[in-house]
Amino acid sequence: MKLQIISACLLVSTYSIGANKQNEKWVDNALRTATHQLLYTAKTIHTPNTMPRSSWRRYDIAFLEKQMEADSTAFARELVKQTPTEKVGTLRTCDIYDWTSGFYPGSLWYAYELTQNGKLKTQAERFTTMLNPIRHYTQTHDIGFMINCSYGNALRLTHNDTIKAVIIETADNLCKRFDPRIGCIRSWDFGTWNFPVIIDNMMNLDLLFNASKLTGNNKYRDIAIKHALTTIKHHFRPDFTSFHVVSYNADGSVEKQCTFQGKADNSAWARGQAWGVYGYTACYRETRNNVFLKQAVNIADMIMQRVKTSDNIPYWDYDAPTLPNTPRDVSAAAITASALIELSRLAPTGKKYLDYAQKILRNLSSPQYLAAKGTNNGFILMHSVGSLPNGSEIDTPINYADYYYLEALKRYIDIKK
């Protein structure tokens, strides 16, 4: 079913490039670049139910050993197969059941909202509609990423009963992964863990909050709150860094605390810390429970203290060795910037978070990270890291970096009005 925009008056916020003479030039340039890249990408996707994900890269075992500060035998079992030489540097796509499938449609919606470019709206409709079959998919916890970033943004920008139905149906599917004995939503269905929960799962709670508001049924909200409270208890260390994975026994006791994408079980994986501050900021926005505000503030302060780079774009792990070729993770920076801009509206000491996020955004909008038009396989930002220990998507553009960058720009523009 094709989504249709009924009225531009329904926009939460709008922004026309160049319409506000007080806008910083770097913001205008970023939006022009984003518009060009997103439409460039749309022209390259011709296969049904296909989304742009990243660019193909190869990895070097010696490089990974230095980054992990461990012999390859400690982690080589997890490494993906090497990318064929002919694919290196080309566009990596995914199908609609990939956990990242909602980010490109969401980026199109944000770019349309910010520019009012009708071509972006057309493509946002096209790629969001592709995800309709996800409403019947029950084999992932990432349904929040997939649906809330796509259909959730569409809901803000148009009247369409089908959109609401998709959000509610997928929220119901997410609730089925909740175990009340444990107090969490199960993450993965693979591996040897009994009941794994990853810090990323904090990002799927917005889908439940939205479903609760759409239906008036607090069951979604209650599950989201319980998951967030349980995660505070077991995912975070005294310094407010978080484990990536916590697996629970059937009685709710902790089976294991470890990592799958970070440097070590006790390290602070950069994107994981970003998921945490974003998730708890959103929980406070929805509940006004000061427990969540305190958690968000503590994680934000930890991030600001732990960053080792002068431009605030963190290395892929806050405990990664400081070497000339240690990759930065632009996706972690973009998520953090978006979270901190929102936190700046909510926390008593908000200005410091806005200032920090603004520095991130300015640097992401520089030629060092912002792609030139027509390059980077159509992605907006360069230099993200997906899963370094698994040899996957290292120093490459990734669709979720673009999504949270555009979301951060929207929040920045809104707060500056």
Closest CA to 293 of 251, 350, 249: 350
What is the token pair recorded at 161? 């009963």
**Active site (annotated) includes residue 402:** no
Proportion of the chain in helix, strand, coil states, percent, rounded to 5: 55, 10, 35
Structure tokens at 210: 């939205």
DSSP secondary structure of 146-190: IIITTHHHHHHH---HHHHHHHHHHHHHHHTTEETTTTEE---SS
Q: What is the 3-state secondary structure (H, E, C) of 64-117?
A: HHHHHCCCHHHCHHHCCCCCCHHHCCCEEEEECCCCCCCHHHHHHHHHHHHHCC
Closest by CA to 306, choosing from 349, 368, 354, 356, is 356
Q: DSSP label at 252?
A: S
Q: How many angstroms separate the CA atoms of 24 and 378, rounded?
A: 24
Distance CA 156, CA 407 (A): 14
Catalytic residue list contains 142: yes
**Rounded to an integer, what is the distance from CA 386 to the centroid of its chain?**
11
Distance CA 91, CA 399 (A): 11
Residue from 98, 200, 317, 395 carrying the catalytic annotation: 200
For Cα atoms 228, 146, 44, give the angle at the middle one, nearest 5 degrees: 150
398 φ, ψ to 5°?
-140, 140
Helix (H/G/I), strand (E/B), else coil: 313: coil
> What is the rounded CA–CA span in Å between residue 385 and residue 28?
26
Considering 60, 71, 142, 161, which one is annotated as catalytic? 142
Report the catalytic residues.
Answer: 142, 200
